[in-house]
């Protein structure tokens, strides 16, 4: 009986959602400046590239690092976030992050004006732009790509950010708890922080903190949440301060390679145009990843006698993380400094800091994304070059205030993400339970949470 009621509510919700979207779309054909076909074509491709990062990129990267009894659980977590958070995004998330509200809340969270993507027509142009814009009849500036493709592009960011946290609590989380936690986290952490940094109304944006493709919003945010959840959920039963060997290193390498590939959409797409800035972002993304991968390999070679496959793949991902906020602001020198720097820092964080403090951040979501993201966000304030975007320069070009703004934005993100993640975790734990039983953990989450096994022995 209760189930039936729930179902009818769901159906009504859907009817409401689509009932309100479709007619508005049909009406919206008022003459407006046209979308630039080159910019639009690139952004459609870039949006698809960013999807590739979560699925299969991150899914395989993380999936290979766990033991084989948990690989499906990781793939499943990435897959379901793609589904659920896409719905969250079009229903309300986009409006909360990029919409506008009134009064006191204006700088902190968007309103409901774009919930269900209401009031957005297929010919509307993106209100957000970086380097390409045009002026409407009423004098307002607008972007050169359809609003809908901006929504889609940002949707992929909203999906991958909670997916990054999976690395922290892998191999011991209840699937239901994970799902509830991730949805709440999107509402209360991702959407507000994205609003602060990227929305035209956001307070960190107005303050002048810069984040080209998501250093604070994506990586610091998810990385700090990763540390908090790893501490709260506790160590894995078999974790005794040293590594639990990964089950499929080729998966890890394929996943890291797909992340690298998809990251070109993530960073070069964040200029929202197909122009020189996109080319520059593409270049520095690639070189930072290359520098970081090589640095990590060399460090292992020197310190442990051999360069490892997982090491070089981890280094590449760390480099991509660090260059993300800086991609549209730094030149090749900055890129190499950020790439080399991040491998040195992350190497210490996963090799020394983690064992020293003994927290079980299973797949180093904090060690790579959190630490690498913090370094990237700060380094943006150091290396931002006025020769890339003339209105932004960093410490090495004599603008120390940019560094202070970066430090503030990073600090605020750390505090907010840590505090709200803590509350969400505790509530979810009380409500549905976050950790599986010891027996379920020993059997593996593939079987206990999904009643499936990845590698069957039956032909």
Nearer to another protein, 49 or 350 (CB): 350
CB of 227 to another protein, least distance (A): 16
Does 68 help bind another protein (rule: CB under 8 A)? Answer: no
C-alpha 313/C-alpha 250 separation (Å) is 10
- CA distances, 343 to each of 212, 339, 429 (Å): 21, 7, 35
The b-or-e profile of 92-117 (16+ CB within 10 A means b, else e) is bbbbbbbbbbeeeebbebbbeebbbb
Does 444 help bind another protein (rule: CB under 8 A)? Answer: no
Cα three-residue angle 121-123-125, rounded to 5 degrees: 95
36, 39, 40, 46: CA torsion to nearest 10: 180
Nearer to another protein, 68 or 308 (CB): 308
Nearest to 120, CA basis, from 84, 87, 95: 95
CB of 367 to another protein, least distance (A): 8
Supply 113's token pair: 């004006």
Nearer to another protein, 343 or 428 (CB): 343
The binder of another protein chosen from 300, 360, 441, 446 (CB under 8 A): 300
Does 308 help bind another protein (rule: CB under 8 A)? Answer: yes
CB of 163 to another protein, least distance (A): 20
Nearer to another protein, 230 or 436 (CB): 230
Supply 25's token pair: 């779309």
C-alpha 153/C-alpha 53 separation (Å) is 12
CB of 237 to another protein, least distance (A): 17
Residue 141: burial class (beta carbons within 10 Å; 0-12, 13-18, 19+): exposed
Nearer to another protein, 284 or 289 (CB): 289
* Beta partners for residue 435, in sequence order: 173
CB of 342 to another protein, least distance (A): 13
Contact 348, 357 (CB under 8 A): no
CB of 310 to another protein, least distance (A): 6
Other C-beta atoms within 10 Å of 448: how many?
Answer: 19
Does 165 help bind another protein (rule: CB under 8 A)? Answer: no
The binder of another protein chosen from 351, 386, 411, 433 (CB under 8 A): 351
CB of 99 to another protein, least distance (A): 40
Contact 450, 459 (CB under 8 A): no
Does 455 help bind another protein (rule: CB under 8 A)? Answer: no
Contact 208, 407 (CB under 8 A): no
CB of 281 to another protein, least distance (A): 28
CB of 352 to another protein, least distance (A): 8
Which listed range, 120-128, 130-138, 285-293, 345-353, lies at the site for another protein (CB under 8 A)? 345-353
CA dihedral (383, 395, 392, 98) positive or negative: positive
C-alpha 330/C-alpha 383 separation (Å) is 6
Nearer to another protein, 243 or 442 (CB): 243
Nearer to another protein, 254 or 412 (CB): 254
Residue at token pair 């020197």: 302
Does 347 help bind another protein (rule: CB under 8 A)? Answer: yes
What's the residue count for the chain? 459
Residues 356-395, mask of contacts with another protein (x by CB under 8 A): --------x-------------------------------
Nearer to another protein, 246 or 269 (CB): 246
CB of 271 to another protein, least distance (A): 33
The binder of another protein chosen from 206, 237, 304, 426 (CB under 8 A): 304
Other C-beta atoms within 10 Å of 204: how many?
Answer: 23
- CA distances, 75 to each of 80, 139, 167, 288, 302 (Å): 9, 48, 12, 28, 34
- CA distances, 334 to each of 232, 350, 380 (Å): 37, 24, 8
The binder of another protein chosen from 10, 243, 419, 427 (CB under 8 A): 243
Nearer to another protein, 15 or 303 (CB): 303
Nearer to another protein, 214 or 341 (CB): 341
CB of 171 to another protein, least distance (A): 15
Does 134 help bind another protein (rule: CB under 8 A)? Answer: no
The binder of another protein chosen from 31, 139, 245, 398 (CB under 8 A): 245
The binder of another protein chosen from 242, 390, 391, 456 (CB under 8 A): 242
The binder of another protein chosen from 145, 149, 310, 323 (CB under 8 A): 310
Residue at token pair 């600090």: 411
Site for another protein, rule CB under 8 A:
242-243, 245-246, 299-300, 303-304, 306, 308, 310-311, 314, 347-348, 350-352, 355, 364
């Amino acid at each position: 009986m209760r189930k039936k009621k729930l179902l009818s509510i769901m159906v009504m919700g859907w009817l409401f959602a689509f009932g309100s979207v479709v007619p508005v779309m049909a009406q919206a054909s008022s003459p407006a400046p046209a979308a630039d076909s080159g910019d639009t074509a690139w952004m459609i491709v870039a949006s698809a590239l960013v999807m590739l990062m979560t699925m299969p990129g991150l899914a395989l990267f993380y999936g290979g690092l766990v033991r084989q009894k948990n690989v499906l659980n990781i793939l499943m977590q990435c897959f379901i976030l793609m589904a659920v958070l896409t719905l969250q995004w079009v229903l309300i998330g986009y409006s909360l992050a990029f919409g506008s509200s009134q009064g006191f809340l204006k700088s902190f969270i968007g309103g409901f004006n774009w919930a269900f993507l209401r009031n957005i027509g297929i010919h509307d142009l993106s209100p957000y732009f970086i380097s390409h814009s045009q002026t409407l009849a009423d004098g307002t500036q607008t972007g050169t790509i359809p609003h809908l493709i901006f929504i889609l592009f940002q949707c992929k960011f909203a999906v991958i950010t909670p997916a990054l946290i999976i690395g922290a609590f892998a191999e011991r989380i209840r699937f239901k708890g994970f799902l509830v936690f991730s949805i709440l986290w999107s509402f209360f952490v991702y959407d507000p922080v994205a609003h602060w940094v990227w929305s035209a109304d956001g307070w960190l944006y107005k303050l002048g903190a810069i984040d080209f493709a998501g250093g604070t919003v994506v990586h610091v945010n998810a990385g700090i949440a990763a540390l908090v959840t790893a501490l709260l959920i506790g160590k894995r039963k078999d974790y005794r301060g040293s590594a639990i060997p990964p089950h499929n290193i080729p998966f890890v390498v394929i996943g890291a390679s797909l992340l690298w590939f998809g990251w070109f959409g993530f960073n070069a797409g964040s200029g929202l145009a197909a122009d020189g800035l996109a080319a520059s972002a593409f270049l520095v993304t690639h070189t930072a990843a290359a520098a970081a991968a090589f640095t990590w390999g060399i460090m292992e070679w020197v310190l442990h006698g051999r360069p490892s496959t997982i090491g070089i793949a981890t280094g590449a991902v760390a480099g991509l993380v660090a260059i993300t906020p800086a991609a549209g602001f730094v030149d090749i020198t900055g890129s190499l400094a950020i790439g080399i720097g991040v491998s040195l820092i992350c190497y210490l964080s996963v090799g020394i800091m983690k064992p020293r403090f003994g927290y079980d951040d299973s797949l180093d979501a904090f060690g790579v994304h959190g630490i690498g993201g913090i370094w990237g966000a700060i380094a943006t304030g150091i290396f931002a070059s006025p020769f890339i975007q003339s209105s932004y320069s960093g410490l090495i070009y004599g603008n120390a205030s940019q560094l202070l703004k970066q430090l503030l934005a990073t600090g605020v993100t750390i505090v907010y993400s840590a505090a709200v993640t803590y509350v969400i975790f505790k509530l979810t734990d009380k409500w549905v339970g976050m950790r599986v039983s010891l027996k379920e953990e020993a059997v593996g989450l593939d079987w206990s949470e999904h009643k499936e096994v990845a590698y069957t022995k039956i032909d």
